[in-house]
Amino acid sequence: MVIWSQPARADLRSIHDFIAHDSRFYAKKVVQDIREKTDILEQLPKAGKKVPELNEDAVR
């Protein structure tokens, strides 16, 4: 399960709001697409690179 941090949620909301100025439909679609991409991490938890600043295997 992906746990979204508060700053990550705020970033996602900012992305939505920015796109929504032009299209609410596409704003919702982009956010949904991003969330769906993170679902892959349940099957492949080690996909992607580690966050170098943290160097923790569980944080990508």
- Whole-number pLDDT of residue 20: 98
- Whole-number pLDDT of residue 29: 98
- Whole-number pLDDT of residue 27: 98
- Whole-number pLDDT of residue 9: 97
Q: Indicate the angle between helix axes 24-43 and 6-20, nearest 10 degrees.
A: 150
Helical (H) or strand (E) element with 16: helix 6-20
Amino acid identity, residue 16?
H
- Whole-number pLDDT of residue 50: 87
What are the 10-residue block averages of pLDDT along the chain, 60 residues in total? 91 98 98 92 85 85
Q: Are 12 and 28 spatial neighbours (Cβ–Cβ below 8 Å)? A: no
Domain ranges of the chain: 1-60
